[in-house]
A and B are shown apart, each in its own frame.
Chain A
Amino acid sequence: MNGWMHHLIIAPVLIPLVAGAILLFFDERQRFVKGMISLTSALLVLAVALTLFRIEIDPQGFDGVYLLGNWKAPFGIVLVVDGLSALMLLLTALLAVAVLIYSLARWHAAGAHFHTMFQLLLVGLNGAFLTGDLFNLFVFFEVMLAASYGLLLHGSGPLRVKAGMHYIAVNLAAALLFLIGVSLIYGTAGTLNMADLAARIPEIEPDRRMLMEAGAGVLGIAFLIKAGMWPLCFWLPTAYSAASAPVASIFAIMSKLGIYIILRLTMLLFGEGPSAGFGADVLLYGGLATLVFGTIGVFASQALGRLAGFSVLVSSGTLLMVLGINDGAISSGALLYMVSSTLTISAFFMLIELVERGQDAGANVLAVTMEAYGDDEDEPEEGGGVTMPGTMAILGTCFAACGILLSGLPPLSGFVAKFAMLSAMMGTGAIGVPPTAAVWTLVILVIFSGVAALISMTRVGIRTFWGSIEGVVPRVLVIEIMPVMFLLALTLVLTVRAGPAMHYMDTTIRTLSNPTVYIDAVRNAVVAGEDRPASAGIGEGD
């Protein structure tokens, strides 16, 4: 095996778990120490994610299957890193570092245990991206959700408690659906290992297959709630706009987790064989409805927070529809879109708080809660940290960049991603098949949702930056605006390096659409301390 490199696979789960545990031993007043531990952990995870990502660019001979407890595949739990999970890990780690730096300015002081919950959220996210076992996925999902309940309530206040209660109730119900789905699948297929399950699906008898598909459907609903498909999404804009800025910002990746799991499971279980295409129509029309609902919401929202919340829905709707169409070239464009839109929305949520700082009553609420938690006297409201010069100009530029990204105009990556999707849809790409009515609808809706974002962003921008006669310049620290600029700069990098990025997405989708690669990798994983059996002679070399 590749020696110690192989153990990097579990590091994205272990590092934040240990950091989260250590953080509990520090008193809330030692904020600087806590912040530094948390940031160190996030940076380490970023380094690991970057290493795994670089390996996955050219995975020659790297065995991405990690057997937990050294049990052979269908009996023990496996972690699997492939192109898709490495991409998601990297995206999560980038967001986490940016959000943590942002929160160090003031938000981490607005309540207890911010850093611990943040690290546990990372544990849940990274674990869910890595795991190759359905029930283990449930456990990581719950770890992530439990941390997110706490984070959503961070900063307190009636609005957050109300949104938090709805959020928790919806997600508890979703967790129960998850369990029903998992147990139905176990009852019919007799396995919880994803690779083993995919291999067994063709062998299931027709009467049991129906039950297995019902289980998969119930399971899918749990993820669609997380991803925010139309009739299941009404909690999302409220919860995201009520959350404090750094929390909403990291939540942007949480809705993508739902998309990730649906992508992974549909490609693996329903890519080919007798159950091929199961649920594709639901994703297609559900995504369509989500896109329409999100676009209307973007038009209708007056507050910036809700605008961003509905942008999450627009992004989810687009991705779900593409999953429903399930075509190679479109899907790889959609992966690029997913990365680009997650970075954008995350940056946008942080930016909103900075822009609105001078105007609304939210800052007062924060001041009150910070007082309740004993804000240090030596850390007064004014004067802590370096203030950003030319605040309005920089905020305005970032805001414009967000607008450009959300509406998909050149030169930033929103344009490249949408262009990649649309050109593949209209048949000028690699496939050359004339598009169907559903695809045309999607093309129209994607373009229209971009126009909606442009109109809304322009309207809000004019009101915020040009319309305010009083000229209250918000006081913005360098460490608050830097993460926003960092995420926006990443989208610029994504534009410049669009060629290699698209190549990576193409390779990823091609690997995903051939489930035997994944199945064989998991089934033939070798137990450590034991040489590959000479008699078997299957699989590639180490």
Chain B
Amino acid sequence: MEIILSIAIGVMTACGVWLILRPRTYQVIIGLSLLSYAVNLFIFGVGGVKTNVPPILSDDVAISTLTDPVPQALVLTAIVIGFATTALFLVVLLASRGLTGTDHVDGRDDRK
């Protein structure tokens, strides 16, 4: 379980980093999304990977079988904020495309 999770985080981070270094705005935004997924999974991971255990402490639950609720709350916040900022970046991307006529991050195409 831990191995699969770490491989998933690693692969997504690698892809994300490669993509945000690319010259097209669309690649950058996909890269940022992948990176934020990787980070969200990572935050989950720091709480310890457990399956089928409740995050709420009650009388019939032993403390050893409890999953940490704080990372889950953090992930929720991070998802919301990440979503909003990605949407905003998309708008700027479209504005840049409209103003410069190219989807290059610098607003000009050097391939010619």
Residue ranges of A at the interface with B (Cβ–Cβ < 8 Å) = 135, 138-139, 142, 145-146, 149-150, 153, 156-158, 161-162, 164-166, 168-169, 172-173, 175-176, 179-180, 182-184, 186-187, 192
B64 vs chain A, min Cβ distance (A)? 16
List A contacts of B105 (CB < 8 A): 165-166, 169
Measured CB to CB, the nearest residue on chain A to B46 is A187
Would you give 27 A-B contacts (Cβ < 8 Å), ordered by A?
A139-B77, A142-B85, A146-B88, A149-B88, A149-B92, A158-B107, A161-B92, A161-B95, A162-B96, A162-B107, A168-B88, A168-B89, A169-B20, A169-B28, A169-B32, A172-B89, A173-B32, A176-B35, A176-B39, A179-B39, A179-B42, A179-B78, A180-B42, A186-B46, A186-B74, A187-B47, A192-B70
Q: Tell me how far the C-beta of B91 lies from the nearest C-beta in chain A, rounded to whole angstroms.
A: 9
Give residues of chain B (78-98) contacting chain A, Cβ–Cβ below 8 Å: 78, 81-82, 84-86, 88-89, 92-93, 95-96
A146 touches B85 (CB 8 A): yes
A176 to B89, CA, bound (A): 15
Can you name the residue of chain A whose Cβ is closest to the Cβ of B44?
A: A183
Across-interface contacts of B86 in A (CB, < 8 A): 172
Contacts known (A142-B81, A158-B107); A183 close to B93, Cβ less than 8 A: no
- Give Cα A164–Cα B77 distance, bound, in whole angstroms: 24
Considering the chains assembled together, what is the distance between the CA atoms of A187 and B28 in angstroms? Answer: 29
Determine how close the nearest CB of chain A comes to the CB of B8; give it in whole angstroms: 15
Q: B100 — nearest CB in chain A belongs to which residue?
A: A158
What's the nearest-Cβ distance from chain B to residue A25, in Å? 21
Contact B74 A183 (CB under 8 A): yes
CA distance A158 to B35 in the complex (A): 28
Q: Is B43 an interface residue (CB 8 A)?
A: yes
B10 at the interface (CB under 8 A from A): no
Residues of chain B from 2 to 33 with CB closer than 8 A to chain A in the complex: 20, 25, 28, 32
| Complex Cα spacing A157 to B92, Å | 12
Return chain B residues, CB-CB under 8 Å to A142.
81, 85
Is the C-beta of B99 less than 8 angstroms from some C-beta in chain A? yes
A177: min CB distance to chain B, Å: 9
Q: Which of A166, A172, A183 contacts B85 (CB 8 A)?
A: A172
In the complex, what residue of chain B is closest to A211 when comparing beta carbons?
B46
Q: Is the CB of A165 within 8 A of B25?
A: yes
Q: In the complex, A204→B86 CA distance in Å?
A: 36
A328 to chain B, nearest CB (A): 36
Q: How far is the CB of B34 from chain A (nearest CB, A)?
A: 10
Inter-chain contact A176/B36, CB cutoff 8 Å: yes
Using CB atoms, name the residue of chain B closest to A162.
B107
Would you call the interface of chain B mostly helix, strand, loop, or mixed? helix
Give min CB distance, B100 to chain A, whole Å: 6
Report the bound CA distance from A179 to B39 in whole Å: 7
A31 to B11, CA, bound (A): 50
**Contact between B46 and A184 (Cβ–Cβ < 8 Å)?**
yes
Shortest beta-carbon contacts, A-B, top 6: A187-B46, A183-B43, A158-B99, A183-B46, A162-B107, A142-B81
Contacts A165-B25, A169-B20, A176-B39: A183 and B92 contacting too (C-beta < 8 A)?
Answer: no
Task: Tell me the bound Cα distance from A422 to B95 in angstroms.
Answer: 48
Could you tell me if B100 and A162 are in contact, using CB atoms closer than 8 angstroms?
yes
Tell whether, in the assembled complex, residue B43 and residue A179 are in contact, meaning their CB atoms are under 8 Å apart. yes
Q: Give the complex CA separation of A487 and B71 in angstroms.
A: 44
B71 and A186 within 8 A (CB): yes
A390 to chain B, nearest CB (A): 40
Q: Are A165 and B93 in contact (CB under 8 A)?
A: yes
Chain A residue nearest to B74 in the complex (CB): A135
The residues of A that contact B78 with a CB separation of less than 8 Å are: 179
User: Given the complex, which residues of B lie within 8 Å of A158, measured CB to CB?
Assistant: 99-100, 107
CA of A150 to CA of B84, assembled, Å: 13
CB-based contact A162/B106 at 8 Å: yes
Q: Report the bound CA distance from A293 to B46 in whole Å.
A: 38
Residues of chain B with a CB closer than 8 A to A146's CB: 84-85, 88
B92, A164: Cβ atoms under 8 Å? yes
In the complex, what distance in Å separates the CA atom of A136 from the CA atom of B42? 19
**A186: chain B residues within 8 A (beta carbon):** 46, 70-71, 74
Complex-state Cα separation, A156 to B71, whole angstroms? 39
Q: A142-B85, A146-B85, A186-B70 are in contact. Are A135 and B77 (CB under 8 A)?
A: yes
**A179 to B32 Cα, complex, angstroms:** 14
Q: In the complex, what distance in Å separates the CA atom of A161 from the CA atom of B99?
A: 8
The minimal Cβ–Cβ distance linking A182 to chain B, given in whole angstroms, is 7
A153 x B92 contact (CB < 8 A): yes
A172 touches B43 (CB 8 A): no
Closest A residue, CB atoms, query B17? A173
Distance in angstroms between the alpha carbons of A156 and B91 in the assembled complex: 13
On chain B, the residues within 8 Å of A135 by CB distance are: 74, 77
Look across to chain A and name the residue whose beta carbon is closest to the beta carbon of B105.
A165
Q: How far is the CA of A169 from the CA of B28 in the complex (A)?
A: 8
**Which of chain A's residues have a CB closer than 8 A to the CB of B36?**
176
Within 8 A of A (CB), among B36-70: 36, 39, 42-43, 46-47, 70
Closest CB-CB distance, A183 to chain B, in whole Å?
4
In the complex, chain A residues whose CB is within 8 Å of the CB of B89: 165, 168-169, 172
CA distance A158 to B92 in the complex (A): 11
CA distance A27 to B70 in the complex (A): 41
Residues of chain B contacted by A183 (CB below 8 angstroms)? 39, 42-43, 46, 71, 74
CB distance from B49 to the nearest CB of A (A): 12
Chain B residue numbers with a CB within 8 Å of A153 are: 92, 95
